[in-house]
Amino acid sequence: MKTATLQHNQQVREHILTTGQRIMAGKGFSAVGLKEILDESDIPKGSFYYYFSSKEDFGVAMLQHYFDDYLADLDETLGQAEGSHAQRLMRYFQIWRETQSFSDCQGKCLAVKLGAEVADLSDKMRHTLMQGTAGIISRLADALEAGAAEGSLTLEDEPEKVAESLYQLWVGASVMVKIVRTATPFDAALKMTRQILQLSL
């Protein structure tokens, strides 16, 4: 019975987080009230406070949930047996281009959507964003180092610095895509990425 209760509680918590992530990826953090999340989740207000002490606490948990999923997907993409490390990296950026849509990212671009907003609102959420993005950059750096070692790409700087520059390039492109409402910034980012890694165009 205890195990069943724990599983149920975990499922409810997951449902609230997933629902909130989807809504906030479209509207932002401040514009979404708890009532909207609860109504969409079909969860009573009292149940929400069983899992989260505040909206900020929910925001931290939501970002952790987002990055856990994101990093798992990234590990799968970069860890595939097929292709060189350079090919896996370019596959990751191609997936970014395809999923970080300016019209509907379906919760996949939460860090881009909330980054600037919540960094000014909550130091706890900012710290969670820092940890999550650091995890992404670290994995990219490992893939870059492996790619340089196998000869599938060329680096003119330390892997960590190149990884940070590439991530910042793509975050910037994601913001511009939302502004111009076309995929042109992503196409430019893909071209620049290939140039940075000295891959044939």
72 class by beta-carbon count within 10 Å (0-12 exposed, 13-18 middle, 19+ buried): exposed
What pLDDT is recorded for position 153?
A: 97
Locate 46 and state its tokens: 């009292």
Phi first, then psi: give them for residue 104, nearest 5 degrees.
-160, 100
What pLDDT is recorded for position 44?
A: 85
Q: Could you count the other beta carbons within 10 Å of the beta carbon of residue 125?
A: 23
What pLDDT is recorded for position 146?
A: 97
Nearest to 135 by CA among 45, 63, 35: 63
What pLDDT is recorded for position 109?
A: 75
What pLDDT is recorded for position 105?
A: 58
pTM for the predicted model, two decimal places: 0.89
What pLDDT is recorded for position 106?
A: 53
Q: Could you count the other beta carbons within 10 Å of the beta carbon of residue 35?
A: 10
What pLDDT is recorded for position 112?
A: 85
pLDDT in tens, 70-125: 999 999 999 988 899 999 999 999 999 988 866 655 556 788 888 888 888 899 99
What pLDDT is recorded for position 102?
A: 61
| Average pLDDT, 10 consecutive residues per value, the chain (201 residues) | 77 92 88 91 86 94 94 95 94 91 63 85 94 97 97 97 97 91 94 94 52
